[in-house]
Chain A
């Protein structure tokens, strides 16, 4: 079964660092781009960025450039989204998704990782 499994919910303090993960299985992890999508509470979907695990080519939305870092470790079929200093405005559900549908649609999604930032 093709699936993406994300790491569990996180509760952090402002200023702390965080790295969440997304592990792919059931397909060739290095053959598909992996994207990250943010959904703030009660709000819509926002495209964060993409990574191609084979060579770690990465693209960011200007809104997130410099705010987060996307990486991947192809040896463990896992993509990551990380923050060096969390803010309250980072509170959201973060989804990873495989770009494997026709014309680069996200065809497989992870279950989401909820990030809470609170002092």
Chain B
């Protein structure tokens, strides 16, 4: 099975900060990497698919990039509504594993 390792597990930041979350796959997954945002008590929401493709309706301050088996989610200027937990997920081969999550806090 493919292991997804996210870092950091938690992150304190302020409104207006630029934030980067990293996800590393244990083997090559091409661009089959997705990012989700989850707020307390809510279902996850897809932000980025295929490593860098922004979902419709997602603000452009979110972006994704890839370098080999390392993937990055960047939020260019944090807004109050961005404080949430973020998960990466590989959809290259089943089981489609998730990273352990990054909790973004004020």
Contact = CB atoms under 8 A, between A and B. Distances in A.
Contacts of A110: 43
Contacts of B53: 102
Given A44-B98, A62-B1, A105 B89 contact: yes
Nearest to B99: A44
A69 to B, nearest CB: 16
A: contact size bracket: 20 to 34
Helix, strand, loop or mixed for chain A's interface? strand
Contacts of B43: 95, 97, 109-112
B65 interface: no
A107 B49 CA distance: 9
A39 B96 CA distance: 15
A59 interface: yes
A44 B100 contact: yes
Helix, strand, loop or mixed for chain B's interface? loop
B46 A101 contact: yes
Contact of B34 (A44, A62, A101): A101
Nearest to B94: A59
B27 to A, nearest CB: 16
B87 A95 contact: no
B87 A44 contact: yes
Nearest to A61: B95
A37 B34 CA distance: 15
Contacts of A107: 46, 49, 55
A35 interface: yes
Contact of B50 (A37, A97, A102, A109): A102
Interface in B85-103: 87, 89, 91, 94-101
Contacts of B46: 101, 105-107
